[in-house]
Amino acid sequence: MSVIASVLSKICYAIADQTSQIIGNVAGTDVVGKIGNPRDAVPESNTSQLNFFYYRFEPSAFNADVLPGETHFWRVFSLVTPFGVEELDAGISAGENDLRILGEIIRVFQERPVFSIEVDDEVYQIQAVVMPLEVEQLSQLWGTQGDVVYRPSIAYEMAVVPVTPN
């Protein structure tokens, strides 16, 4: 049984895919965009990964009086975590690759905080807003991941993501 992909899930996937492609092109290496819990994002062979963990969803303050059957906009919060792989031939450790990828994420979203996502022949403008998390908040998020060791991460609000009615 397959689940119907919503506009929300398609946009979240497109954000991860588009961001990892941009970073991979700059770095000159493959970076695979993933969605899900960080505990499930284990690098496959020699490919670095960029994991988007969408952990909080809030209705936007704009158009708060949306009626049933109308498009509603949401603020979507994501913890972005790189899972770099070691590059033995270049002498680059997995930890250094994590920081390189994280630096590129910050640069890309700083240079182009608003980007276009096309889903089902509709183009949506999504803005990435950095969300500084306190150590306690980060600890709580990572505490839900079981035995996974904390990795360098950054949180972003993706504003505003539409949820369209059928």
Write the pLDDT tens digit of every residue in 20-57.
Answer: 988 887 766 788 889 988 877 776 677 888 999 999 99
3-state secondary structure at position 37: coil
> pTM value?
0.86
Is the CB of residue 118 less than 8 Å from the CB of residue 37? no
Is the CB of residue 30 less than 8 Å from the CB of residue 48? yes
> How many DSSP H helices and E strands does the chain contain?
3, 6
Residues 133-148, mean pLDDT to the nearest whole number: 79
Q: What is the dihedral of CA 163, 53, 2, 68, to 10 degrees?
A: -20
Which position has the higher pLDDT, 106 or 142? Answer: 106
On the question of pLDDT at 137 being above 60, the answer is: yes
CA angle 71, 13, 122 (to 5 degrees): 40
CA angle 23, 48, 162 (to 5 degrees): 55
- What was the pLDDT predicted at 39? 75
- What was the pLDDT predicted at 27? 65
Residue with tokens 């492609």: 21
On the question of pLDDT at 71 being above 70, the answer is: yes
Record the tokens describing residue 3, joined without a space: 């689940």
For the ranges 91-105, 112-126, 132-146, the lowest mean pLDDT is seen at 132-146
Q: CA 45, CA 166: separation in Å to the nearest integer?
A: 40
Read off the amino acid at residue 86: E
